[in-house]
Amino acid sequence: MIRFGTNPIAWANDDDRSIGADIPTARILDEAGRQIGFDGIENGHRWPDDPEALRALLAGYGLAFISGWYSTNLLVQSVEAEIAACQPHLAKLLHNGCKVMIVCETSNAIHGDAARPVNDRPRLSEVLMTEFCTKLEAFAAYLAGQGVTLVYHHHMGTIIESPAEIDALMAGTGPHTHLLFDAYHCAFGGGDPLAVLSRHVGRVRHFHAKNIRPDVVARVREDRLSFLQGVVAGAFTVPGDQEGGIDFGPLLKVLVSAYDGWIVIEAEQDPKVRNPLLYQTLGLATLKRLSKEAGLI
């Protein structure tokens, strides 16, 4: 069953908490659940850590807890240490009936550093990539035993950003490691979203429908801006925005053959410049229309 969700970073950013700091939590939930009509929402720094308090808070607005970002440190610690570290987050997922854990390696990532150009991200040698994939698969196997699927979030400013790195990750892991496909991060990382999704759709278990403004993305690269500077400048947007550069219709048609899960709008913008209620409403309406045209719903 396809369900549609959002992420609170459209209202209040997690990496730079000054963005949207003035927006009350109740407004985020009311707009996402009662006004726009999303089925669920992902994790954010405003939500309570207690699993039942989280469930009750979201349920009051008609929202399910979808899942949430988990930062791994497998490049610098053992799989056993990672398993121990993830227990509070895993408990939150299990209590709320989540099917996936969104994972990204951040031990050397730079996307949260407003002073570091996103171009200067870390890269792994072939040997280190192999070692990382082996550890990630072992961690994913543990999660599978707990009833949760690991979905890896390829992301700007991290070790898995380019199409070649996504391919290497998928080749070096399996069968327990799956993919969170993010259209924006794929395009920003130099990939053709349709081509990359088509190659790996059989391993995709989570989908982020995030759009790009190509002119802003080009400026981020050319002017050596940081990821967070790109956010403020407007590099991200939602499906349906006329300034966006990604056509989501063909992507949703690819999903028809193999996908059954959440489609999530995870598009962080400056809420003082781009009203979250208006943009998220546009994004959801666009995704539902295109999903019907594709035969996905």
Q: Please state, rounded to an integer, the average pLDDT across all residues of the chain.
A: 96
pLDDT tens readout for residues 123-139: 999 999 999 999 999 99
Q: Would you state the pLDDT for residue 269?
A: 87
Alpha carbon distance 195, 176 (integer Å): 23
Question: 23: domain CATH number?
Answer: 3.20.20.150
Look at residues 151, 140, 248 and name the one whose alpha carbon lies nearest to residue 200.
151
Instruction: Read off the pLDDT of residues 77-117 as tens digits, 9 standing for 90 and up.
Output: 999 999 999 999 999 999 999 999 999 999 999 999 999 99
pLDDT tens for 171-206 read 999 999 999 999 999 999 999 999 999 999 999 999
> Distance between CA 229 and CA 181 in Å, rounded?
23
Query: Which of helix, strand or coil describes residue 196?
Result: helix
Q: How confident is the model at residue 258 (pLDDT cuts 50, 70, 90)?
A: confident
Q: Which two tokens stand for residue 135?
A: 């550890």
Residues facing residue 151 across a β-bridge: 102, 178
Strands, DSSP E only, in the chain? 3-6, 40-41, 64-65, 69-72, 100-105, 149-153, 177-182, 204-208, 211-212, 236-237, 262-265
pLDDT digits (tens, 9 = 90+) for 25-59: 999 999 999 999 999 999 999 999 999 999 999 99
What contacts 14, CB < 8 A, 6 or more positions away?
A: 8, 44, 45, 69
Structural domains of the chain, count: 1
Q: Which of 173, 167, 178 is nearest to 202 (CA)?
A: 178
Structure tokens at 207: 């989908």
Contact 172, 130 (CB under 8 A): yes
Give me the domain span that covers residue 53: 3-294
With beta carbons less than 8 A apart as the criterion, state whether 9 and 238 touch: no
Taking Cα atoms as reference points, which of 87, 137, 82 lies closest to residue 106?
82
Whether the CB-CB separation of 246 and 286 falls below 8 Å is answered with: no
